[in-house]
Amino acid sequence: MKSIKIATFGSHTALQILKGAKDEGFKTIAICEKGRTAPYKMFNVADEIIEIPSFGDYEKYEHLLIEKNAVFIPHGSFVSYYSLDKIKKSKVMYYGCKNILKWESDRNLERQWLQKAGLKLPMVFESSEDIDRPVIVKEHGAKGGSGYFLAQDKKDFEEKIKTKKIGKYQIQEFVVGAPVYIHYFYSPLDGKLEIMSMDKRYESNADSLGRINTNDQVALNINTSYTVVGNFPIVVRESLLHELIEMGENVVKASRKIEEPKGTWGPFCLETILTDKLEFYVFEISARIVAGTNPFIDGSPYSYLNYDVPMSTGRRIAREIKNAVNSNRLNEIVE
């Protein structure tokens, strides 16, 4: 325990990962881009800060983490900087299943995984000819929904697509309902699944259009955009938990079929729209810690039920590593 350190990129969910690691008794390392250390100094979560010119240069500095016996915790900023090939080549102890990233980063593979888990997904239209309802058009690799647009029908789609400079995209049924993002944690050490917390995103300008009356919305010709600016906590109706638990368990089981034999472990998130018929449509999965866990640095109503200390997802990861070290099973959860 004493020799192992916890390291992550200074961004995304690093505050809770590092704070959680310290609370569990680890020394911590933040790898920061030059000049972007302020939050990690202000909140005093890092025992050591390694400044590098850009996250893209991380490979050159990896050896420092190996020398320091660090376990690296991946999060959204890491996954967006590093291709699967590079992640696979990396020799630093990495928390999580590397191969599962392939399944979450490709829209078609992601769909296969979620379908194998028996989840309800929005329809996908392979050709614009087939559009028969409102759709959301998603550019591949769009960050925070910024490259998305909505179309009411086929005609509207065809008019709008002409005016856009977008690369590859997917046309998805637009599901009307409330977004709910469920943060799970699966431990292969004891075979248990936990719901850690839930959030909805605060998005610009989707969440601010209600502040302008309809006439002004039309006059200003605003296109709905979904750039994430923050996150709100959610607690769902208790009767919905049965289904959410089953959905999470099915995702873990399906992951063992696509990435045999171990499947995925650690944190993952299902991004859903809950309709007025109380049906969950899952439009995305993230197989790692998500930024929606950030409102819960001191725990959530759900983690409060399971733990007698404030348990963020970041701290849960550190607890898992501690449990693995203490039972000599670290090799089962790092790659």
Q: How far is CA 77 from the centre of its chain?
A: 10
DSSP classification of residue 224: P
Q: Quick one: which of 96, 87, 33 has its CA closest to 59?
A: 87
Q: What's the closest the beta carbon of residue 43 comes to ligand ATP, in angstroms? A: 24
Q: Which listed range, 124-132, 142-150, 186-194, 251-259, lies at the site for ligand ATP (CB under 6 A)?
A: 142-150
91 burial type by CB count under 10 A (0-12 exposed, 13-18 middle, 19+ buried): exposed
Does residue 106 interact with ligand ATP by CB under 6 A?
Answer: no
Q: Select 23 or 284, whichever has its Cβ closest to ligand ATP.
A: 284
Separation between Cα atoms, residue 16 and residue 312, nearest integer Å: 7
Q: Is 151 in the site for ligand ATP (CB under 6 A)?
A: no
Query: Please, which residue, 179 or 310, has the CB nearer to ligand ATP?
Result: 179
**Residue from 48, 49, 145, 275 in contact with ligand ATP (CB under 6 A):** 145
Q: Among 39, 122, 233, 310, which residue interacts with ligand ATP (rule: CB under 6 A)? A: 122
Q: Based on the shown chain and the rule CB under 6 A, indicate whether residue 75 belongs to the binding site for ligand ATP.
A: no
- Nearest distance from C-beta of residue 108 to ligand ATP, angstroms: 14
User: 3-class SS at 98?
Assistant: coil
Contacts of 89 (CB under 8 A, 6+ apart): none
Helix, strand, or coil (residue 261): coil
What gap in Å lies between CA 232 and CA 119, rounded to an integer? 25
Token pair, residue 44, equals: 């005093």
Outline where the chain has alpha helix (H).
Answer: 14-23, 38-42, 58-67, 76-81, 84-89, 100-105, 107-116, 154-163, 214-220, 241-258, 301-306, 313-326
For the bound state, the minimum distance from the C-beta of residue 112 to ligand ATP, rounded and expressed in Å, comes to 17
Site string for ligand ATP, 170-209 (x = CB under 6 A): --xxxx---x---------------------x-x------
Shortest Cβ distance from residue 199 to ligand ATP (Å)? Answer: 11
Could you say whether residue 134 binds ligand ATP (CB under 6 A)?
no
- Closest separation between CB of residue 175 and ligand ATP, Å? 4
Write each residue from 224 to 263 as x if it is in contact with ligand ATP (CB under 6 A), else as -, in one continuous string.
Answer: --x-------------------------------------
| Beta carbon nearer to ligand ATP, 124 or 193 | 124
Query: How far is 49 from 14, CA to CA, in rounded Å?
Result: 12
Q: What residues make contact with ligand ATP under the rule CB under 6 A?
A: 122, 136, 142-145, 172-175, 179, 201, 203, 226, 271, 273, 283-284
